[in-house]
Amino acid sequence: MALLRFSVFVLIHIALVSTLCFAGDPTVSYNFKVSYVTASPLGVPQQVIAINGEFPGPVINATTNNNVIINVRNELDENLLMTWPGIQLRRNSWQDGVLGTNCPIPAKWNWTYQFQVKDQIGSYFYSPSLNLQRASGGFGAFIVNNRAVIAIPFAQPDGDIVIMIGDWYTQNHTALRTALDSGKDLGMPDGVLINGKGPYRYNTTLVPDGIKHETINVDPDTDADRCLCAITYIYGKWFELFEILMALAQRSAGKTYRLRVHNVGTSTSLNFRIQNHNLLLVETEGHYTVQQNYTSFEIHVGQSYSFLVTMDQNATSDYYIVASARFVNESIWQRVTGVAILHYSNSKGPATGPLPEAPSDIYNQWAAMTQPRSIRLNTSASGARPNPQGSFHYGSINVTDTYVLRSLPPSTIDGKLRATLNGISFVNIDTPIRLADQHKVKGAYKLDFPNKPLDRPLRMDRSVLNSTYKGFIEVILQNNDTKMQSFHMDGYSFFVVAMDFGIWSESNRNNYNKWDAISRCTVEVYPGGWTAILISLDNAGVWNMRMENLDRWHLGQETYMRVVNPEENGETEMAPPDNVLYCGALQDLQKPQHHSAAMSILRRISTTFLTFSLALSVGIFIL
Ligand SMILES: *[C@@H]1O[C@H](CO)[C@@H](O)[C@H](O)[C@H]1NC(C)=O
Ligand SMILES: *[C@@H]1O[C@H](CO)[C@@H](O)[C@H](O)[C@H]1NC(C)=O
Ligand SMILES: *[C@@H]1O[C@H](CO)[C@@H](O)[C@H](O)[C@H]1NC(C)=O
Ligand SMILES: *[C@@H]1O[C@H](CO)[C@@H](O)[C@H](O)[C@H]1NC(C)=O
Ligand SMILES: *[C@@H]1O[C@H](CO)[C@@H](O)[C@H](O)[C@H]1NC(C)=O
Ligand SMILES: *[C@@H]1O[C@H](CO)[C@@H](O)[C@H](O)[C@H]1NC(C)=O
Ligand SMILES: *[C@@H]1O[C@H](CO)[C@@H](O)[C@H](O)[C@H]1NC(C)=O
Ligand SMILES: *[C@@H]1O[C@H](CO)[C@@H](O)[C@H](O)[C@H]1NC(C)=O
Ligand SMILES: *[C@@H]1O[C@H](CO)[C@@H](O)[C@H](O)[C@H]1NC(C)=O
Ligand SMILES: *[C@@H]1O[C@H](CO)[C@@H](O)[C@H](O)[C@H]1NC(C)=O
Ligand SMILES: *[C@@H]1O[C@H](CO)[C@@H](O)[C@H](O)[C@H]1NC(C)=O
């Protein structure tokens, strides 16, 4: 009898859980309360968007194939959507958190995202996607660790450190939005934040008093560690001795940390550097790179990089960590510089003197492109699966379609300042595209996005690319704007096969990197230049493509790629989740959400009852 009751309970419990998860793989869960808090990162009090009171938000820490559940409660005074750029959401654009795939979460509502980080590793971040909210915060790191059975292509680092850098305005996102909507440029940012904090006071004239800065604490290699190793050896096996010796040989010069650096800013490309330390590039947006040292590194808006940094200095003082504006006149933009401190536990004093210098090649544009061109895939390293990253021979696959996407500087359309891609300034979607498809809503969007710039007047529209499932496409991003741009695509990782200045032509194909091009999800496009990418369209759904530069994105520089299997068999794409929200033309299908005190009491009672019944069943079972 007791056994029966227990089994029934377990069955119910399994049934409940299995509606939430995908078979077998472990689940990580988070509760995100998104709200305004007052902070003064640059000395001026302002409302920033925090998650569970933290700014930046907590780290989402998952492992390949984990199911991720994030219950987001919107405590802002406006709509919210959280998005996970770079998380590929296989067959599941329902969780992407952009207006073309999700109805917004209204103020004071909550909504639970559920997805699997399938066949993926790497460093990413999450952020809000609507209304320029990222300019006020709401972002945090999203890490997907390797499974234990797949070795990372370097010695296990002594620590994992997240660094979020980004330009920052003392005006909040609503004020910035008002400026953009009235045709103004956002102008120069007021500073650069590092992990939500303002600059260290490296110069008393340039940095006002009373600003909190970030300190990254590290340990050098100490004798105590070596001692510990020796003890381990006495009690250990020969095998372990060998491992220890290997590890010591690899890092005899000091402890090595993995720094995951993300540019979560509004629109400024940043140069990242650490005084007296090399940055050994190892990974970007989910792929291991050929390992190379740099003294400074350019990180564009929306990009993520992992560097190994060895604490091999003598700690006569602390060291500066700098993120400064790049591709602008740096003598005018001096205040747009983030400064944090790298503090060794044996440091003998504060960092002093001038900051390490930024590269001075800014007006030598050819030199400026040398760095991004040097980023290569390590084809022999394993990524998410135990096979080499280079085993997908993208260079020998025939291209099925070519798109040329040209961006122009903002100009006036219907009396409003707008930004365009191929002459179209995207208008926000009211009814998410796949939901509109399923419910046969007419006119929610058009499938007529042109595959090259057309000679016709600029327009505002909901034009989407009609792409072929399983196609292998070439996309040329042609930047005819005057500012550096970061192009991002959701749902995919793409191969960056070439970039150059001037106008792209077919003859440029002869110089594509067909062997070890890096695969990533956000790439820079130089002003007056182009970047060519290749994408294998194997992930069905509707996927946003946009400029990560928030001003341009807000002004309409985005579209979607609709990738649908014409022979949909229920397996190429997931069905909408049970909690799908309805809006726009489907508004009437949406049930209201209650958040009264009575409800939460009821919920607490039912949780208590569940816990009680579980305890009871277990108790009876044991008896
Ligand atoms: C943003 O700034 C504007 C203008 O300074 C102010 O009116 C508004 O209340 C602020 N919004 C929030 C959410 O703090
Ligand atoms: C993430 O989780 C792994 C264990 O799964 C742990 O080793 C690592 O320190 C965690 N990282 C962060 C940043 O919390
Ligand atoms: C809202 O959050 C509660 C728990 O806080 C959860 O039980 C409920 O499922 C969530 N609602 C939605 C629509 O995700
Ligand atoms: C590439 O990865 C392999 C395999 O993990 C590693 O042994 C090698 O050092 C890496 N090569 C470079 C140049 O980074
Ligand atoms: C601080 O910055 C100002 C302006 O760039 C410069 O003139 C001055 O020399 C700097 N002071 C120090 C101590 O470096
Ligand atoms: C990178 O620089 C460090 C010193 O900071 C050095 O130990 C290491 O060998 C260099 N690695 C490569 C691949 O150049
Ligand atoms: C520590 O390193 C710095 C910079 O490399 C050097 O100027 C200084 O003399 C060194 N100090 C000691 C005590 O070795
Ligand atoms: C940068 O700005 C300064 C100050 O206005 C000016 O003197 C300098 O010529 C500018 N540099 C370039 C290369 O435009
Ligand atoms: C690619 O196209 C070429 C010429 O059009 C053809 O000969 C070749 O078989 C194609 N390769 C594949 C893998 O389809
Ligand atoms: C979209 O493309 C498919 C072929 O890939 C074609 O059959 C269909 O008619 C296109 N739809 C529109 C609206 O152009
Ligand atoms: C934009 O295109 C025009 C015409 O091709 C060209 O003259 C101009 O230099 C371009 N500007 C940029 C910033 O690419």
Nearest-CA residue for ligand 6 atom 3 is 278
Q: Is the pLDDT of residue 302 over 60?
A: yes
In whole angstroms, give the CA distance from residue 97 to residue 432. Answer: 11
Does residue 539 lie within any of the structural domains?
yes
Residue 206's nearest CA partner among 326, 354, 320 is: 354
Does residue 176 lie within any of the structural domains?
yes
Q: For position 568, what pLDDT does the model report?
A: 77
In whole angstroms, give the CA distance from residue 520 to residue 303. Answer: 9
How close is the Cα of 83 to the center of ligand 1, in Å? 24
Residue that wins the pLDDT comparison between 5 and 40 = 40
Write down the mean pLDDT value for the chain. Answer: 89
Nearest-CA residue for ligand 11 atom 4 is 480
Could you give the angle at which helices 2-20 and 597-622 cross, rounded to 10 degrees? 130
Which atom of ligand 6 is nearest to 277's Cα? 5
144 plus 183 within the same structural domain: no
381 CB within 6 A, ligand 4: yes
Task: Report the pLDDT averaged over residues 224-234.
Answer: 43
- Given 531, 548, 564, the domain boundary residue is 564
Q: Which residue out of 327, 331, 365 has the highest number of ligand 8 atoms within 8 Å of its CB and is therefore the one to mutate?
A: 331
7 plus 142 within the same structural domain: yes
25 plus 112 within the same structural domain: yes
**Contact present, 310 and 384 (Cβ < 8 Å):** no
Residues with CB under 6 A from ligand 10: 447, 466, 468
| CB contact set of 312 (below 8 Å; sequence gap of 6+) | 253, 254, 277
Nearest-CA residue for ligand 5 atom 1 is 203
146 plus 109 within the same structural domain: yes
pLDDT band at residue 359 using 50, 70 and 90 as cut-offs = confident
Q: For position 231, what pLDDT does the model report?
A: 41
Does residue 76 lie within any of the structural domains?
yes
29 plus 178 within the same structural domain: no
Does residue 469 lie within any of the structural domains?
yes
Give the domain CATH number at 487. 2.60.40.420
**74 lies in which domain range?**
2-157+572-610
How close is the Cα of 282 to the center of ligand 7, in Å? 28
Q: For tokens 């030199």, what's the residue?
A: 367
Q: For position 331, what pLDDT does the model report?
A: 83
Does residue 380 lie within any of the structural domains?
no
How close is the Cα of 310 to the center of ligand 6, in Å? 9
Does residue 590 lie within any of the structural domains?
yes
Q: Is the pLDDT of residue 158 over 80?
A: yes
Q: What SS3 state is found at 554?
A: helix
Q: Which residue out of 437, 442, 447 has the highest number of ligand 10 atoms within 8 Å of its CB and is therefore the one to mutate?
A: 447
Q: For position 518, what pLDDT does the model report?
A: 98
Q: What is the pLDDT of residues 250-281, one digit of tens each?
A: 444 589 999 999 999 999 999 999 999 999 99
Counting beta carbons within 10 angstroms of the beta carbon of residue 514, is it exposed (0 to 12), middle (13 to 18) or buried (19 or more)?
Answer: middle
How close is the Cα of 553 to the center of ligand 11, in Å? 21
Which atom of ligand 5 is nearest to 205's Cα? 1
203 CB within 6 A, ligand 5: yes
443 plus 401 within the same structural domain: yes
pLDDT band at residue 22 using 50, 70 and 90 as cut-offs = low
Does residue 381 lie within any of the structural domains?
no
| CB contact set of 411 (below 8 Å; sequence gap of 6+) | 417, 418, 420, 458
Q: What is the pLDDT of residues 374-431, one digit of tens each?
A: 999 999 999 999 999 999 999 999 999 999 999 999 999 999 999 999 999 999 999 9
411 plus 522 within the same structural domain: yes
| CB contact set of 481 (below 8 Å; sequence gap of 6+) | 407, 408, 409, 419, 527, 552
Residue 62's nearest CA partner among 109, 113, 17, 100 is: 113
280 CB within 6 A, ligand 6: yes
Q: What is the pLDDT of residues 424-447, one digit of tens each?
A: 999 999 999 999 999 999 999 999
Ligand nearest to the CA of residue 294, numbered in listed order: 6
Output the six-digit token pair for 545. Answer: 């493509």
How close is the Cα of 617 to the center of ligand 4, in Å? 53
Residue 194's nearest CA partner among 341, 314, 331, 71 is: 341
307 plus 293 within the same structural domain: yes
Q: Is the pLDDT of residue 571 over 90?
A: no
Q: What is the pLDDT of residues 137-147, one digit of tens each?
A: 999 999 999 99
560 plus 584 within the same structural domain: no
Q: For position 12, what pLDDT does the model report?
A: 33
How close is the Cα of 169 to the center of ligand 1, in Å? 13
pLDDT band at residue 170 using 50, 70 and 90 as cut-offs = very high
404 plus 362 within the same structural domain: no
- Residue % of the chain over a pLDDT of 70: 86
Count of domains for the chain: 3
Which atom of ligand 11 is nearest to 408's Cα? 1
316 CB within 6 A, ligand 7: yes
Q: Which residue out of 278, 290, 319, 378 has the highest number of ligand 6 atoms within 8 Å of its CB and is therefore the one to mutate?
A: 278
Q: Is the pLDDT of residue 452 over 90?
A: yes
Q: What is the pLDDT of residues 479-510, one digit of tens each?
A: 999 999 999 999 999 999 999 999 999 999 99
357 plus 452 within the same structural domain: no
Q: For position 222, what pLDDT does the model report?
A: 54
Which atom of ligand 3 is nearest to 110's Cα? 1
pTM for this entry? 0.90
Q: For position 528, what pLDDT does the model report?
A: 95
Q: For position 357, what pLDDT does the model report?
A: 92
Does residue 618 lie within any of the structural domains?
no
Residues with CB under 6 A from ligand 1: 36, 47, 172, 174-175
pLDDT band at residue 567 using 50, 70 and 90 as cut-offs = confident
216 plus 364 within the same structural domain: yes
Q: For position 379, what pLDDT does the model report?
A: 98
